[in-house]
A and B are shown apart, each in its own frame.
Chain A
Amino acid sequence: MDARTQEFLAYVQDGGQAEATDWLPDEYRQKLVKFIEMHANSELMGVLPEREWILRAPTLQRKLALTAKVQDEVGHAQLIYRVAEDLGKPRDQMLADLISGKAKFHNVFHYPTKTWGDVGVIAWLVDAAAIISQKALLKCSYAPYARIMKKICWEESFHILHGRDVILAMVTGTDMQRELVQEAIDRWWGPLMQFHGNPIPRDEDPMYVWRIKSQGNEEARQQFLEGYVPQIRELGLTVPDPNLHRTDEGVWEYSEPDWDELRSVVTGHGPRSQDRLAFRARYLEQEKWVRDTVLAA
């Protein structure tokens, strides 16, 4: 590592932040763009499982709340892509790389949604897992990214509220509604446990080393379990892991997540990966004329 890069590394490890116009080491810039791009892709792809349920929402209030939530996700994608664009990667290139599979998006958005129970579980638990990761970006060494996280975290807090409300309505409703919630938790638990990534020690995680993230993967997962397992259990719902328990030292132990599944899914082999990418590609292609001609400044 050359001296200038070493100096930059020490600077960020000491809490320093960089701006878009600052000199950035190549390695840092590359890792940063890749990380930010995956985040933007995830917000954008996350829209697809949820938008089907906007159309099927069973009350006007739920329809409005879910539309607003999904609108936020699109808004987040816009905020995050803009940061990557200002780091030099054009938006249409990022969308092309998403479609081709060259760039990735988070595991949870490769799975199907089957019932209204999924709508609640996604807003309550998947968004909770995401908000933990997002809070760890509030102090990102790259300042433009850190700054947008404030708005993102603020908006995510509404999603969790909405998710919790949907879940509570169902668990206090009919037996069938309650079963929908439990069944959704049973299906989503595996992907949720994989969500924060394998437990690589944080000093071996380049994202932490460069202070792009301020916590390691396992730390994030522990925070999720600590916050949400009690919330799940207090509603009389169960977590489908017989090995899940909290030690006396306050550490959550659990069955080893299926890391092969995670690897397979994020490389585009999830149950809905290809058809969701194809859906997105179809509309991008269909409306290309709008971007190319009408919106050219």
Chain B
Amino acid sequence: MIFEVFRQEKKGQPFTHAGSVVAPDAAFADAWAREQYGRRGESEALWLVPRGAVHQVTEWADEFDLKYRRVDGYSIKERLRIARERAGTTPT
């Protein structure tokens, strides 16, 4: 079985994918991953997940260009410029 290894470098940080180990069960995966990813004290914690339990998502539908859900969907700069001009507060 392949176990994906996620490691947390320091407390508070996210767990990030670090690699994988081939092991017959969780006990062996634990014994092996802790040395491969922790023998130099470089990991605060590890998550070991059988590869089969990982469900990957890589495609999204974005047919209608729903800009309001993204930062580039707002034209703040231009409207602010016009508003400042009208109020006579344009910075010189």
**A–B direct touch in complex (beta carbons closer than 8 A):** yes
**B17: nearest residue on chain A (CB-CB)?**
A147
A264 lies within 8 A of chain B by Cβ: no
Looking at the complex, which one of A78, A85, A91, A147 makes contact with B36 (CB distance below 8 Å)?
A: A78
- Complex contacts, B44 vs chain A, CB 8 Å: none
Against B, the Cβ 8 Å flags (1 = close, 0 = not) of A70-90 are 010001001100100110000
Give the contacting residue for B19; candidates A82, A295, A296; CB below 8 A. Answer: A82
Q: A21-B58, A75-B36 are in contact. Are A295 and B18 (CB under 8 A)?
A: no
Q: Which residue of B lies closest to A83 (CB)?
A: B19
Which chain A residues (39-83) contact chain B, with CB distance < 8 Å?
A: 68, 71, 75, 78-79, 82
Instruction: Place the interface of chain B in its size category.
Output: 10 to 19
Of B20-28, B68-76, B77-85, the one with at least 4 CB within 8 A of chain A: B20-28
Residue A297 CB within 8 A of the other chain: yes
B56 partner residues in chain A, CB cutoff 8 A: 21
Please report which residues of chain A, range 273-297, place their CB below 8 angstroms from some CB of chain B when the two chains form the complex. Answer: 294-297
Task: Kindly list chain B residues whose C-beta atoms are within 8 Å of the C-beta of A155.
Answer: 40
Q: Is the CB of B20 within 8 A of A82?
A: yes
Interface centre among A91, A294, A297 (most CB of B within 10 A): A297
- Of the residues B1, B18, B22, B58, contact of A151 by C-beta under 8 Å: B18
**Are B18 and A82 in contact (CB-based, < 8 A)?**
no
Chain A residues contacting B40 (CB-CB under 8 Å) are 155
Chain A contact residue count (CB 8 A cutoff): 18
Contact A297:B24 (CB < 8 A) given known A82-B19, A148-B19, A151-B18: yes
Instruction: Give the CA-CA distance A147 to B25 in the complex, in Å.
Output: 25
The residue of chain B having its C-beta at the shortest distance from the C-beta of A79 within the complex is B19
A297-B1 contact, Cβ under 8 Å, with A21-B56, A21-B58, A78-B36: yes
**Chain A residue at minimal CB-CB distance from B32:** A78
Contact yes or no, B25 A297, CB < 8 A: yes
A21 to B54, CA, bound (A): 13
The answer to whether B24 touches A295 (Cβ under 8 A) is yes
The answer to whether residues A82 and B58 also contact, given A75-B36, A297-B1 and a CB cut-off of 8 A, is no
Min CB gap B7→A, angstroms = 10
Nearest CB to that of A71 among chain B residues? B39
Tell me the smallest distance from the CB of B2 to a CB of chain A, in Å: 8
The residue on B at minimum CB distance from A155 is B40
Distance from A80 Cβ to chain B, minimum over Cβ atoms (Å): 10
CA distance in complex: A78, B1 (Å): 15
Query: Once bound together, how far apart are the Cα atoms of A78 and B22, in whole Å?
Result: 9
Q: How far is the CA of A148 from the CA of B25 in the complex (A)?
A: 23
Distance (whole angstroms) from the CB of B31 to the closest CB of chain A: 12
Which residues of A have CB within 8 Å of B21? 78, 82
Which chain B residue shows the least CB distance to A81? Answer: B22
A residues sitting closer than 8 Å to B (CB atoms) are 21, 68, 71, 75, 78-79, 82, 85-86, 91, 147-148, 151, 155, 294-297
Interface residues, chain B, CB within 8 Å of chain A?
A: 1, 17-25, 28, 36, 39-40, 56, 58
Q: Which 6 A-B pairs have the closest CB atoms?
A: A297-B24, A297-B1, A295-B24, A82-B20, A75-B36, A79-B19
9 A-B contacts (beta carbon < 8 Å): A78-B36, A79-B19, A79-B36, A82-B19, A82-B22, A85-B22, A151-B18, A155-B40, A297-B23
- Given A68-B39, A78-B21, A91-B22, 19 additional A-B pairs, CB 8 A: A21-B56, A21-B58, A75-B36, A82-B19, A82-B20, A82-B21, A85-B22, A86-B20, A148-B19, A151-B18, A155-B40, A294-B24, A295-B23, A295-B24, A296-B24, A297-B1, A297-B23, A297-B24, A297-B25
